[in-house]
Structure 1
Amino acid sequence: MTNTTEHLQWLKSCHANGVSLDLKELIYYRAKARLLDLTPKNKIKHKMAGQYLAPHKGRGMEFAEVRHYQPGDDIRSIDWRVTARTGQTHTKIYQEEKERPVFIFTDFSNTMLFGSQLLLKSVQAAHLSALVAWSASERGDRVGGLVFNQNQHLELKPSARGKAVLKLTHNLISNHQEALSIHGADTAQNANCFSENLKRLNQLAKPGSLIYLISDFCHLGSDQKNNEALKQLQMLSRHCELVACQISDPFETHLPEHNSIIKVDTGSSESSLPLMNKSFRKRFNDQAQAQLSNRITMLKKSGLHLFSFSSSSPIEQQIIGKA
């Protein structure tokens, strides 16, 4: 991986090296929690789905309406401005805010263990997972997660406060360490780990949950008719709000010019790339862009919000205006 002086300084401030994970670099995002806005982007239509706002009116943080004062209303809720303007006593009504579970689905499968510049995609996924978790905790939501690599998954049921976030960060670190240790090893690997873990997520996530899916989605496949992962995503979107965060590396869609053949470990295989060959680079880039466009089309059909992030720059520099 290549790094500029600016990036090297950022890695030092973040306590990161771009390849392995450390607790300090995930705690670093606690101070960045307010970069994310986790308020619902759309109303979940499923009859079982909960929302942030309770359906009944009462005392709470979210203003709902002003109506005529009725016997028994709390006089502390009287709207004196409206009362003075109309000559009739009015009171403010609030909707009580409800917490909702925030699930973080983090992919450390083989294709995520790649990076050509600042970070491995898997490390960027962990950084974004930590940022979402700290943001949810700051808001008062319950945090849960499902972290998986090619051979193993770790589940965390939603719970409140910072302990849940710290538990998730430990899951991220241990699962990522195992992913690196088995990467390239001569062991049996599960080719269906992505869809299988989406199925687990369907079983874990309660209606009304906010779910962050953090992956490169390379295992989504191209067959829309017989695609188990796509079916699981569509099932999830019926009763939960889904935010897909697609992590990519610049090298995957745009090969740079080089004067020799280089070997690249893409996570699932090792390839030899003749970068001095202009026509090869064009064919590769065109094919990669077509695959990416197809993947994005499939994700959008699942009824989710889609955001794209690169592993080539710090996540806090990319998050403004997103997610």
Structure 2
Amino acid sequence: MQDVTKWLNRLSADGVALNIKQLLYYQKKTSLLNLAPRKTIQSKLAGSYLAKTKGRGMEFDEARHYQPGDDIRAIDWRVTARSGKTHTKLYREEKERPIFILADLSPNMHFGTQLLYKSVQAAHLASLIAWSAKNRGDRIGGLVFNQHQHREFKPLTRQKAVLGFLHGLIEVHQPNDLYPGNFQFSDACARLRRLVHPGSLVFVLSDFQHLNEAAKQHLSRISRHSEVIAYSITDPFEHELPKVSGFQAVEVTDGFEQQTLMLGEKTVSQQYRHSHQHQFAQISRTLQQCKAQILQVSAATPLEQQLVEQRRGIA
């Protein structure tokens, strides 16, 4: 995808604001994601996924020799007659697997230097996951939050559930100081833990800048009974200072403190790079301790391009 400007125009996007057209765009991109379960499904509800445990269900699995205690109603009379030995039919039990999305739209996510804010990229990814889940017949739920508010969505099926979630993304993404409070990443993880059902597939979309011990404990508890996939969303500026000709002083701020960086200074660039490498390595170690699968997404490139390249083994 060479012409990024055309891509932005097609989505009516400027990289900063979020609208429904951007999120509807991913309705036709569901083939980019594979939501097949990797862990044993533990849900007690019937659904469209085959569990690894065998018993009486809807999907035939195999026939084996009859064993004492087997239900005589499950005897496979055709195999029994053909082999001369009593055989029993085994079925693979069907289980339901809801999908939950935790979308971090807090102030640290409202940052981007090349294409999109990290928060916008997170919303694009959340939309793709939601449409993919709907396409597979999974129930979709989750939690969207910023520092002032959060919206919780119980798992539901059908397109109406997806659209409700997408409108929640747009609502929470818009700055609104009318809501008091200081909702943190750890608070979101705590709320998510109450929402998630055993056997679920859980996506956490964030830059994980506020992944503290409390959040770690909640994510670890969730991963005990569900599959957790952590998408770490970053911007190139967070990895390395931009290259410039000569020296250039720039003022940077996190909204609270202001600092001057000297671009073009080799020592400063190395210190910056090593500092952020250490930070991201620590985030990765913590997520690994939470038993989460870690995937990287950049805010500097269209999401679909990154997913296509990952499939081809380029990235």
The TM-score normalised by the length of structure 1 is 0.82
**3-state SS, counterpart of residue 199 of structure 1:** helix
Give the equivalent residue in structure 2 for 1:197.
188
Distance 1:17 1:295 in 2: 30
Is residue 250–residue 263 contact of structure 2 (8 Å, CA) maintained in 1?
yes
Deviations, residues 270-307 of structure 1 (Å, cap 9, x unaligned): 44321132211111111011111111111111111111
Distance 1:217 1:245 in 2: 9
Deviations, residues 199-253 of structure 1 (Å, cap 9, x unaligned): 01111111111110000000014xxxxx111111111111211110000001001
Deviations, residues 104-162 of structure 1 (Å, cap 9, x unaligned): 00001111000011100000000000011011111111000100001110001000011
Query: Aligned match of 1:217 in 175, 199, 208?
Result: 208
Give the equivalent residue in structure 2 for 1:224.
none
Give the equivalent residue in structure 2 for 1:146.
143
Distance 2:243 2:264 in 1: 6
Unpaired segments of 5 or more residues in structure 2? none
Deviations, residues 40-97 of structure 1 (Å, cap 9, x unaligned): 11236x797999325533334xx5224579986799x979xxx99x799989755353
Distance 2:46 2:229 in 1: 17
Aligned: 1:238 with 2:224: yes
Distance 1:74 1:23, change over 3 A: farther
Distance 1:243 1:10, change over 3 A: same
Q: Which has the higher contact order (CA 8 A, sep 6+)?
A: 1
Is residue 19–residue 120 contact of structure 1 (8 Å, CA) maintained in 2?
yes
Query: Aligned match of 2:238 in 231, 243, 252?
Result: 252
**3-state SS, counterpart of residue 116 of structure 1:** coil
Is residue 49–residue 207 contact of structure 1 (8 Å, CA) maintained in 2?
no
Is residue 111–residue 267 contact of structure 1 (8 Å, CA) maintained in 2?
no
Is residue 109–residue 148 contact of structure 1 (8 Å, CA) maintained in 2?
yes
Give the equivalent residue in structure 1 for 2:99.
102
Distance 2:45 2:259 in 1: 46
Distance 1:71 1:310 in 2: 57
Aligned: 1:300 with 2:291: no
Distance 1:5 1:263 in 2: 31
Residue identity over aligned pairs, in percent, reads 43
Unpaired segments of 5 or more residues in structure 1? 222-226
**3-state SS, counterpart of residue 40 of structure 1:** coil
Distance 2:144 2:45 in 1: 24
The TM-score normalised by the length of structure 2 is 0.84
Aligned: 1:59 with 2:47: no
- Superposition pairs of residues 164-179 of structure 1, within 5 angstroms: 164-178=161-175
Give the AA of the match of 1:132. I
Give the AA of the match of 2:234. S
Is residue 136–residue 143 contact of structure 1 (8 Å, CA) maintained in 2?
yes
CA root-mean-square deviation: 3.3
